[in-house]
Amino acid sequence: MDFSSNPDREGIRSAVRKLCADFGDAYWREVDRKSEYPDKFVRALTKAGWLGALIPTEYGGSGLNVADAAVILEEINRSGGNGASAHAQMYTMGTLLKHGSEEQKRKYLPALAKGHTRLQAFGVTEPEAGSETTRLRTTAVKKGGRYVINGKKVFISRAEQSDLLLLLARTTPYEELEDKTQGLSVFIVHLKRALADGRMTIRPIRTMLNHHTTEIFIQDLEIPARDLIGQEGQGFRHIIDSWNVERILIASEAIGDGRWFVERASRYATDRVVFGRPIGANQGVQFPIAQAHARIEAAALVRDKAAWLFDNDKPCGPEANMAKLLASQASWDAANAAVDTHGGYGFAAEYDVERKFRETRLLLIAPVSNNLVLAYLGQNVLGMPRSY
């Protein structure tokens, strides 16, 4: 087993770190204060080609692996930024790349790779269904060469900053299905056109962090049949390809957050002198930071395994989910250790700990709750009875 570093991957890490140096703490603090979308940062990331990392070279992308994409997002968060502002453009590629037609790939991927078009929104979650995706109520009824879509979605992030939306909708009534994972289909939606035609309304949802999430209302939206991705009724299976990548990339953001917290806490504990000595000399301060570091390193190993499995076309569901679970928990431990270490300054905006604390808390419940990850592992990996 070879644990040596990959020179190419280390080059990616270094290049991303250099780009992020132009967007330091003050930049992220200000966009957070104003609840603004970090458009300048996303444009720089796109121009450098990082958001096109998973797009094959024949469509104008970088043709990198998921393991490479993981490094990109990890470094953004480790540098104090927030990869959530742009990460969907990476993981939505799984559905389009694997199940999109050649015509769809040639139509959309080059524009995405160049940054002319943004695919930042993934329309799955609904108010009533929540995590029970097979209970989606948004319908897509085929009429001739078009589908007419009606319904609503919630917690759809970056819909206002995106040109395209991947939308999951019901094409077969739930009660007519023997296999409840069937009957859902994936569509590409042109958001600006839908809004201009008055067929879609987007309502921002204010949250405890700067995440730009929304609720979407859809009424009689007509979608050409050519914008159906893959096979009708197989949408749930199609989006799973994005979900495994999503889990790996979210784990990477959590690992980046965790390393940021550990580095900041270690530095402060070393520099802050109280009662004549650095507070880091006290085991009560030092040990929680060291424990958080160990947990982050362990989560990173599981993340690396999950990415390797995906990149080698091997099943990776358990590993991808465990990586997300362990990384989010490790980052949250590190966040609490950083706040405890900084004391009152941990709550002061100028130290940035409170901002990152709010951002990393989300990863315990999104894009999938850790309880559902545990339920998946208990049933599908350990063979225990279904618990939900």
Q: Do 21 and 127 sit in the same domain of this protein?
A: no
Domain-ending residue, one of 198, 215, 233: 233
Please indicate, yes or no, if residue 386 is contained in any of the structural domains. Answer: no
Task: Calculate the average pLDDT of the chain.
Answer: 96
- pLDDT cut 90: percent of the chain above it: 95
One domain, residues 259 and 348: yes
- Which domain covers residue 57, as residue numbers? 7-114
Domain CATH for 160: 2.40.110.10
Query: Residue 278 domain-assigned?
Result: yes
* In a shared domain, residues 151 and 198: yes
Any residues with CB less than 8 A from the CB of 150 and at least 6 apart, and which? 138, 139, 218, 219, 220, 221
pLDDT at 93: 77
Same-domain pairing of 250 and 374: yes
Question: Which residue's structure tokens are 């905006």?
Answer: 349
User: What CATH number has the domain bearing residue 267?
Assistant: 1.20.140.10
Q: Does residue 1 lie in a domain region? A: no
Q: Which of 69, 98, 114 is the last residue of a domain?
A: 114
Boundary-marking domain end, from 94, 114, 134? 114
Would you say residue 86 has pLDDT above 90? no
Residue 25 has pLDDT above 80, yes or no: yes
CATH code: domain of residue 55? 1.10.540.10
Report the percent of the chain where pLDDT is more than 70: 100
CA dist 252 and 304 (Å) reads: 9
pLDDT at residue 1 tops 80: no
Both 134 and 183 in a single domain? yes
| pLDDT value, residue 262 | 99
Residue 155's closest CA among 138, 185, 131? 131
Those residues whose C-beta lies under 8 Å from the C-beta of residue 373, and which sit 6 or more positions away, are: 321, 322, 324, 325
Whether the pLDDT of residue 241 is over 80: the answer is no
- pLDDT tens across 201-212, in order? 999 999 999 999
In terms of domains, do 210 and 329 share one?
A: no
Rounded to an integer, the average pLDDT of 299-317 is: 96
Q: What is the pTM of this model?
A: 0.97
Integer Cα distance of 37 and 88 in angstroms: 14
pLDDT of residue 256: 98
Quick one: average pLDDT of 9-31? Answer: 98
Query: Are 375 and 243 contained in the same domain?
Result: yes
Pair 70, 184 in one domain: no
Cβ(184)–Cβ(206) below 8 Å: no
215 and 344 share one domain: no
* Nearest-angstrom CA–CA distance, 8 and 267: 29
User: Taking Cα atoms as reference points, which of 190, 374, 232, 32 lies closest to residue 382?
Assistant: 374
DSSP one-letter string for 181-202: T-SEEEEEEEHHHHHHTTSEEE
Q: Are residues 93 and 141 in the same domain?
A: no
* CA end-to-end distance (rounded Å), the chain: 38
**Residue 2 resides in a domain:** no
Residues 166 and 259 in one domain: no
Per the structure, how many domains does the chain have?
A: 3
Domain-embedded: residue 387: no
Does 36 lie in the same domain as 110? yes
Average pLDDT over residues 100-114: 95
Does position 166 have pLDDT exceeding 90, yes or no?
A: yes
Q: Looking at the DSSP assignment, which residues form a beta bridge with residue 228? A: 187
Which amino acid is residue 375, in one-letter code? A
